[in-house]
Amino acid sequence: MKWSFLFCCGLAAASALNKPPIKKFELDLTWSSRAPDGVERKQILVNGQSPGPPLIIDEGDEVEVTVNNFLPFNTTVHYHGIEQQGTSWSDGVPGVSQKLIAPGRKFVSKFTATQYGTYWYHSHSRGQNMDGLYGAIYIRPREIPESLVNAISNDSLARSQIQKAFQDPQLLMISDWFHNTSEELRQISLSANIDTLCVDSILINGKGRVRCVDPGYLTSLVPPPLSPLLQGQNFTAKGCLPTHNTFAQMTSTHHFNKLPPSLFDQCNATNTPEEEIKVDPHDGWMSLNLIGAASISTLTFSLNNHSLWVYEVDGQYIVPTKVDALTLTNGPRYSVLVELNNKPGDYRMTLANAGLNQKIAGYGVFSYINGDPSVVGTSSLNYGGVPSPHAILLDENTVKPLIPNAPAAKADSTFLLKIGRIEKAWKWYLNGDHSYDLSLETEKPLLWDYQSRENSSLVITTKNGTWVDIIFDVTGNKTTLQPGHPIHKHSNMVYVLGAGSGKFNWTTVEEARKDIPDMFNLVDPPKRGVSFQLWKHQSGGSQVIPDTFTTLPALKGPSWMAVRYHVQNPGPFLIHCHIDPHLTGGMALAMLDGIDAWPEIPEQYGPTGEWGNATERQ
């Protein structure tokens, strides 16, 4: 730049003074035995723990993360929700933005924290997210909008307490846990031909226990309109839909003799300690930042006798909304403010699976300092995740961004993606009839040679600066049930324009709006970077059945959803289902964004660079 040349020395001095030092993190990955829910197994630890340490960053920081792979297998680490503006090589997707990191090797990701809010990091190789490779990212905001605080309180003490809570939140990594490793699960699902929809426990910050609940009781928790889906069977001892359920597992041939009885049936309870959060009532307010790191469970959260002011969704402030419970699919984050104004006690936090695949819950303790431990309060959720009649469950359709924004009125191009399964219960696709095979992870990164898969239906290209529509056409018929798929687009947020039941009979949103205008909102649609879950089904009374029940439309027939985004960051970015067995089952697609303005790759990240070729085993 001429300007900087002219003022070179003065500016250099100033920027040296103003520029904060680079925030550096080292993540050492190891494969060790641990028993987070009381049952020992091998898992991935990050710096000796799972979840790994949180990465606390300030908005605007330059960040450098070194991943040291001491695992006995390849890996990569992805920074979920981080837009990677101009740094697509740091996105952590093997075969797309980089090569796999071989055992004994390392990889350094560098990016600028251009956003604020709550994110997370996790493995993006195979099913390793199910082995515990994840941790929180929190980017402290440069400033908190007055309007955000105004909506909650005008009391000056409360306002300062709320400001403090925003800066120093309690991070809660919410996950589910299997007693088999991800590779064992994959081997079982392929040889038995089943979708592994049954977990062993729910973890909060890596802690939980195995609960075994009477199957007859669990069956009674299913709302009557849905009970035909059980096909006259009870849940198993683990609370799972039996593998014989053809809605969930399709009618194709299964090899049940290849299933270890522990996977769906046998339950052995444990009594390990659960997560306990200490809260000081003198703080007045606190922020709980929930991170949906579960692999398959759709978890509804509530905190006994405390309202939740939801104010941040996927790293974006929203108009604060007071609820009693909210549902987390796989990938998203919700931050809630909680007022510490109750009788000091040990209040229970509940996380109950809202999906039909399994009735399972996990708990934690929200403990007031010097409180009475016999005061535990009352939960607004039952074990099946159904809110009590007067409880308010966050309705995503009513979420409004704090600062209004809207997409372009028209898209420049439209992609229609057909979602379904191919013959096998475990084999999914996102675009027509091709699965994104795991072997693509070992291919040359698309970053280096975007033309290498140019004729594949597993790669689509967009032009920089254009507006792109993606319409998901979820196939469905009367014999097979498709769960809601939480779709994640790497690098950018998308506007959710509309969703509904039935076949999408049009080729563009424009055409569809002429026939079904009520199904679209182009004025202030929720903007989601990560997962979106729109359909809520009323089943009589005030009972709202969330999330995985979005599969209902796929039972009666197909469903659709339309999203729109602005291409602003050229580079190769994956779009995929965030249910881990669906991702490893092939439900992914690579998007070559801004193909006409492809980035110049820094030498370090190229094929002969330090972080390119050097990631191969020597």
Measured in residues, the chain has a length of 618
Cis bond before residue 51 (omega within 30° of 0):
yes
Place of tokens 């809260």: 279
Shortest Cβ 378–ligand NAG spacing (Å) = 4
Instruction: Indicate the residue among 205 and 358 with the shorter CB distance to ligand NAG.
Output: 358
Which chain residues interact with ligand NAG by CB under 6 A? 73-74, 99-100, 102, 150, 152-154, 179-180, 184, 187-188, 214-216, 219, 232-234, 260, 262, 266, 268, 305, 342-343, 345, 375, 377-378, 420-421, 442, 451-452, 454-455, 464-465, 475, 477, 479-480, 500, 502-503, 505, 568, 570, 594, 597, 607-608, 613, 616
Torsional class of 249: left (φ above 0), alpha (ψ -120 to 50), beta (otherwise): alpha
Measured distance CA(485)–CA(428) in Å, rounded: 11
Instruction: Indicate the residue among 537 and 582 with the shorter CB distance to Cu ion.
Output: 582
Measured distance CA(288)–CA(335) in Å, rounded: 6
Q: Binding partner of residue 556 among Cu ion, ligand NAG, none, CB under 5 to 8 Å per kind?
A: none
Cβ-proximal residues to 320 (8 Å cutoff; 6+ apart), any chain: 148, 151, 152, 309, 310, 311, 337
Angle at 234 between CA 230 and CA 239, to 5 degrees: 100
Measured distance CA(298)–CA(367) in Å, rounded: 25
Q: Binding partner of residue 582 among Cu ion, ligand NAG, none, CB under 5 to 8 Å per kind?
A: Cu ion
Q: Binding partner of residue 142 among Cu ion, ligand NAG, none, CB under 5 to 8 Å per kind?
A: none
3-state secondary structure 293-317: CCCCCCEEEEECCCCEEEEEECCEE
Shortest Cβ 582–Cu ion spacing (Å) = 3
Shortest Cβ 13–ligand NAG spacing (Å) = 29
Shortest Cβ 142–Cu ion spacing (Å) = 36
Q: Binding partner of residue 4 among Cu ion, ligand NAG, none, CB under 5 to 8 Å per kind?
A: none
Instruction: Indicate the residue among 209 and 485 with the shorter CB distance to Cu ion.
Output: 485
Shortest Cβ 607–ligand NAG spacing (Å) = 5
Q: Binding partner of residue 456 among ligand NAG, Cu ion, none, CB under 5 to 8 Å per kind?
A: none
Which chain residues interact with Cu ion by CB under 5 A? 485, 577, 579, 582
Shortest Cβ 407–ligand NAG spacing (Å) = 14
Place of tokens 């964004």: 593
Measured distance CA(55)–CA(70) in Å, rounded: 20
Instruction: Indicate the residue among 174 and 303 with the shorter CB distance to ligand NAG.
Output: 303
Burial of 529: CB neighbours in 10 Å, binned 0-12, 13-18, 19+: buried
Instruction: Indicate the residue among 311 and 426 with the shorter CB distance to Cu ion.
Output: 426
Instruction: Indicate the residue among 215 and 355 with the shorter CB distance to ligand NAG.
Output: 215
Instruction: Indicate the residue among 193 and 295 with the shorter CB distance to Cu ion.
Output: 295
Shortest Cβ 298–Cu ion spacing (Å) = 11
Measured distance CA(108)–CA(604) in Å, rounded: 10
Number of neighbours of residue 300 by Cβ within 10 angstroms? 27
Cβ-proximal residues to 125 (8 Å cutoff; 6+ apart), any chain: 74, 75, 76, 94, 100, 441
